[in-house]
Structure 1
């Protein structure tokens, strides 16, 4: 039986789905690398990553490397579990 309620609304956006997919298989990913991997704008990445951070799905680290700011992302344990449940629900809907 299909249960669409098992899907996590926070992961419906293709950008958020992309961010989480990248972070599930990498430890820390920096802003420019994430932007390039997903082919999105600075603003898109900033707004979607902030939303994921607000839900404690990702951690955002801001630091300086020399005199240049650097922003990096990684998935939290809460985020890893929530995203895995979302993927499991999608697979169940597809009959996998």
Structure 2
């Protein structure tokens, strides 16, 4: 994928990035399949489950800064509740 903004991957997530999946897990991105759509796959940094996959365009994954990982891991339920409230309010940044 090029550096240009790709509407199929609005967050510009790349292999090696950490992103939030559909279950609000921080996931280490290990693979990107861009055959038609863009499917992100990786390993959960909460419980090590894999493969965890999300459609980059339709699931709305976001990048997660490394500095936020400890807080998320300590209270995943609280993080998920906060993110759900943000999404309901329309603030997915």
> Which of structures 1 and 2 has the bigger CA Rg?
1
Greater share of helix: 1
TM superposition score normalised by structure 1: 0.30
In proportion to residue count, which structure has more strand? Answer: 2
If asked which structure has higher relative contact order (CA below 8 Å, sep 6+), I would say 1
